[in-house]
Structure 1
Amino acid sequence: MHHFSRVRDFVVELDQARGPGAVYWGGEVLSGQVVLDVAKGLKVRALAVCARGLATAHWLESKNIGMNTVYSDYTAFETYLRRRQHLIRDNGDITVLQAGRHEFPFTFQLPETLATSFEGKHGSIRYWIKAKLHRPWASAKRAKKEFTVIEPIDINTPALLAPQAGAKEKLARAWYCNRGLVSVSAKIDRKGYTPGEVIPIFAEIDNCTTRTVVPKAAIIQTQTFIARGTKKQKKSVVASIVGDSIAAGKREVWHGRALKIPPVGPSILQCRVIHVEYALKVCIDIPGTSKLFLELPLVIGTIPLHPFGSRTSSISSQYSVNIDWLRLGIPEQPEAPPDYSSVASSEGCIEALAPPCQDVPSNALEGSFFAYIQEFRFRPPPLYSEVDPNPPSESNSRPRCMTC
């Protein structure tokens, strides 16, 4: 206790210029200092600081064997960062620190590839700086400081800018009787989005049954934990919308119905023990039979869309965003996510659904009209064609004056 009373404060501080909510990424230099406030002269044998980054997956599974319950432990690790630096080297001599505040700066070069920080039900990806003070004839004293890492995912790539489309149909049955066919086709403008963006959903739902059906759309997050060749998954609904009921024999068209992405964490695709994936799922609730599901893949990125192709902004400015998602879990919804085993087989992809024409009534657009225009104002013009895709009808065609 005598030795502990001599140390008034022992903490790890990161670069103050970065601010309290600083975010780091691969390849960057991480700097800071170990602060040691001493009340009286303190003998020190060594002072070391280490930087660690670790992905961990862990869960238990139970199995009943007779009257006993046997538990199987599933654990896996992947190390992203393991660096060490000696601030006071242990060379056999004793260093005496006088009373007062002492600062020991350190610097670490982060590896180029680091996975995004993550906290999940069966695993985590964490980064931290840990300092260890060794004194003669006393137990070591430790200080720890966690920091946040984001893996850059630029959605301005051909793969993430490609439109996503699909179609599904399902035969509604009740008491072995055919109640008709329900079909859905849907398209989204691209695969990659960032939190806070609005996904315009273009869809056509044909209800050829004798029942009223209800269309829904949701963003599904799937956390996959991998250990010992076994996977453990957790699915959550992070955002959803409900469409209008579709009467029997009617068709419903979504002209860019808006679904906003909440502040969720980005996709994690390259980690060997933890994956975080997203999908847009369109669901048709059919009374008396199982639901019809259509799933389109999504990637939640960290570098937003550059409409003009400008890349002048620095990478660091791309990370000046709200990262509360790192500490906040996704709220559980009252209704469990859909069962993926009930997804119907696809007959093939549909042709791209065009944006609504100018004669679409204003109430057909979901959300703000200006937000809709902003989303599509930077689309490229249609491909040139010698053939008019919309030729005038014979009744409306009139001869043109050639004297002008």
Structure 2
Amino acid sequence: MGKLSVFGITLEGNRTVYFPGDFIKGQVLILVTEPMKMKAIKIMCVGRAYVHWTETHTTGSGENQRTETENYSETENLFEQTIIVHGEGANEQTNLSQGQHVFPFQYQLPTPLPSSYEDGIGYIRYWVKGTIVKPWKFDKYTTQVFTVLDTLDLNNIPNISTPSGNSDTKTLCCWCCTSGPIEAEFHTDRSGYVPGEYILINAAITNSSYSKVKYTSAMLMQNVTYHATTKTRIDSRVVNTIMGPGVDKRATENWTNKRLHIPPLPPSESLHCRIIDITYSVIFQAHLRTCAVDMRLYAPITIGTIPIRSLQMYRNPPPSIGNQRLAVAPSAPPTHNFPPNTSPNPEQATSAYPTRGTFYSPPPSYPSATGGGAIIKDDDYGYTMGDTSFTPQYTYYDWNQSTFTSNK
């Protein structure tokens, strides 16, 4: 890079996860091998949501047939703040002397904000961008992306402990004959969960037809709605699946408390972002013969970040504490006063919540998202020094750790 040997941004304590209202504190690090002329060094703190996709349509026929590609996109600026850390930033020039330079900065995140999200169609992204504004030359850039987590307290949602479920009846036709119906009913143990918990599924399938149900399954689905300027698109992806047995003709099969695990996921989001909505559902499916359409039953659920404190699993102390410290399940949003030299510490995160009574839970951690992240390649960044890969991190309660195994 010639004169510029190092140009990077470090966040205080190497923190990677923040919450609305937190202060982003960090430093711009620059190492130049000889004096450098510039106008300014500036920091831009940005929160932005973006969606984009293309659709191909064929019109006309024969010689008049043609293919058209339409682009759909929309941008929502959540916040944008520029901070000059060196120089005036106008037409005046300044010199940066040879050697290493450190410029501190801080910015308080606004509130409310939606949780970070990344996929191939859209994103909700937060970053700090550093720019060396050069006179008569290309500017130099460096970028640090970080996760923002919204708080969704399940205890504030009415009827969240009520099971969610559905039922259906399907009649198969075989040649000129109509067989008896296939009847199915299923429900989850409640309507709200946090990542790390298990969805308990109960179901009953009565097969009065002449055909066997090949097998049954249940899927946790993430449903994302993208709102472009002129069109809306809904995509669904399977997050996790469990399989069940088939059902012989003229027979009945039951599911009893089958467990479907919830991996690290963003919370349900429909309030704080105008162009991306995230919802979840459980699908119970009876897989039928090849020529028949499978039976699919849908049940909506909510994924939050603070668990339902009235659940028995949070009231029973684990059978063996060992040397591990017990966390107290939160009942209100935390203050997030984490020490400056650490990322959010699970025990401090939980202890920041005021509590009522005693509630036991694994301490929340912040693992990377299920399904991976993104490579940051965007015109907003220009040529960027440093790592451009990013994967959001989400709240997760690890019920598989040994102290809590029997409470899963």
The bucket for the TM-score relative to the shorter chain is 0.7 to 0.9
How does 1:132-147 map onto structure 2 within 5 Å?
132-147=131-146
Contact in 1 for aligned 2:56/2:69 (Cα 8 Å): yes
Equivalence map 1:334-353=2 (5 Å): none
**2:407 aligned residue (374, 378, 388):** 374
Which whole-Å CA distance do the structure 1 matches of 2:406 and 2:143 have between them?
49
Give 1:276's aligned residue.
Answer: 278
Deviation sequence 1:74-106 (CA, Å, 0-9, x none): 111111121111112236544333322111111
Query: 2:294 corresponds to which residue?
Result: 291
Larger Rg: 1
CA distance change for structure 1 residues 326 and 259 in 2, over 3 Å: closer, same or farther? closer
- The match for 1:64 is 58
Paired residues for 1:159-198 under 5 Å: 159=158, 160-198=160-198
C-alpha separation in 2, matches of 1:105 and 1:372:
45
Q: How does 1:235-246 map to 2 (within 5 A)?
A: 235-246=236-247
**Residue aligning to 1:321:** 365
Match of residue 395 from structure 1: none
* Aligned residue in 1 for 2:106: 107
Q: Aligned partner of 1:11: which letter?
A: G
Cα distance between partner residues in 1 of 2:147 and 2:208:
51
Q: Which moved more, 1:105-114 or 1:133-142?
A: 133-142
Does the C-alpha gap of structure 1 residues 61 and 277 become closer, same or farther in structure 2, counting only changes over 3 Å? same
Q: Is the 8 A contact 1:205 1:252 kept in 2?
A: yes
Aligned AA (1:289): A
> Is residue 7 of structure 1 aligned with residue 4 of structure 2?
yes
Q: Residue 267 of structure 1: CA displacement?
A: 2.6
Give the secondary structure class of the aligned counterpart of 2:217.
strand
Partner-residue secondary structure (3-state), 1:324: coil
**Counterparts of 1:311 and 1:163, CA distance in 2:** 21
Unaligned runs of at least 5 residues, structure 1: 331-366, 376-404
- Aligned equivalents of 1:329 and 1:373: distance in 2? 33
Are the structure 2 counterparts of residues 118 and 326 from structure 1 closer, same or farther at C-alpha, using a change threshold of 3 Å? Answer: farther
1:232 corresponds to 2:265: no
Please tell me the residue identity of whatever aligns with 1:275: D
Secondary structure of the equivalent of 2:369?
Answer: helix
The structural deviation recorded for 1:324 is 1.7
CA distance in 2, matches of 1:218, 1:77: 32
Aligned 8 A contact 1:285 1:291 in 2: yes
Q: What CA distance in whole angstroms lies between the structure 2 residues aligned with 1:276 and 1:182? A: 32
Residues 312/248 of structure 1: CA separation in 2 closer, same or farther (3 Å cut): same
Aligned-residue offset at 1:320: 5.2
Q: Write the distance in 2 (CA, Å) between the matches of 1:302 and 1:236.
A: 21
Runs of 5+ in structure 2 lacking a partner? 316-328, 337-348, 351-362, 375-399
The answer for the alignment partner of 1:153 in structure 2 is: 152
Q: Describe the SS at the equivalent of 1:156.
A: helix
1:279 CA drift (Å): 0.7
TM-fit CA distance, 1:286: 2.7
Q: Contact 1:173/1:180 (CA < 8 Å) preserved in 2? A: no
TM superposition score normalised by structure 2: 0.73
* SS of match in other structure, 2:365: coil
CA spacing shift, 1:103–1:208, aligned 2, 3 Å:
same
Asked if residue 54 in structure 1 is aligned to residue 48 in structure 2, the reply is yes
> Does the aligned pair in 2 maintain the 1:174–1:289 contact within 8 Å?
no
> Which of residues 311, 319, 323 is equivalent to 2:331?
311
SS of alignment partner, residue 238 of structure 1: strand
CA–CA distance in 2 between the matches of 1:294 and 1:60? 31
Q: Sequence identity of aligned pairs in percent?
A: 28
Question: Is the contact between residue 153 and residue 333 of structure 2 (CA under 8 Å) also seen in structure 1?
Answer: no
Gap change, CA 1:80 and 1:178, over 3 Å in 2: same
What letter corresponds to residue 186 of structure 1 in structure 2?
A: F
Q: Which amino acid aligns with 1:141?
A: K
State the distance in 1 between where 2:48 and 2:91 align.
32
CA distance in 2 between partners of 1:68 and 1:91 (Å): 51
Aligned-residue offset at 1:179? 0.9
Structure 1 residues 22-77: Cα deviation after superposition (integer angstroms, max 9, x where no partner): 21121111111111212223333222111111111111122223343222111111
Mapped contact 1:76–1:226 kept (Cα < 8 A): yes
Instruction: Render the CA deviation track for 1:199-229: whole Å, top value 9, x for unaligned.
Output: 1111121112222213221112222222134
1:211-261 CA distance string (max 9 Å, x none): 221322111222222213422232222211221222222222222111112
Q: Residue deviations 1:130-153, cap 9 Å, x none?
A: 111124444322221111112222
Shift of 1:188: 1.3
Find the aligned partners of 1:274 and 1:176 in 2 and give their Cα distance: 48
Change (3 A) 1:293 1:135: closer
TM-score, length of structure 1 as denominator length: 0.74
**How many matched pairs?**
331
Instruction: Kindly indicate whether residue 249 of structure 2 is the aligned counterpart of residue 248 of structure 1.
Output: yes
Change (3 A) 1:321 1:373: closer
- Equivalence for 2:212: 212
Deviations 1:266-322 (A, max 9, x none): 333232222222110111123253222211102222233433475389464269524
Does residue 88 of structure 2 align to residue 87 of structure 1? no
Asked if structure 1 preserves the Cα contact closer than 8 Å seen for 2:128 and 2:144, the reply is yes
- Residue 199 of structure 1 is matched in structure 2 by 199
Q: What is the rounded CA distance, in whole Å, between the counterparts of 2:93 and 2:140 in structure 1? A: 16
Aligned equivalent of 2:266: 265
Moved more, 163-172 or 273-282: 163-172
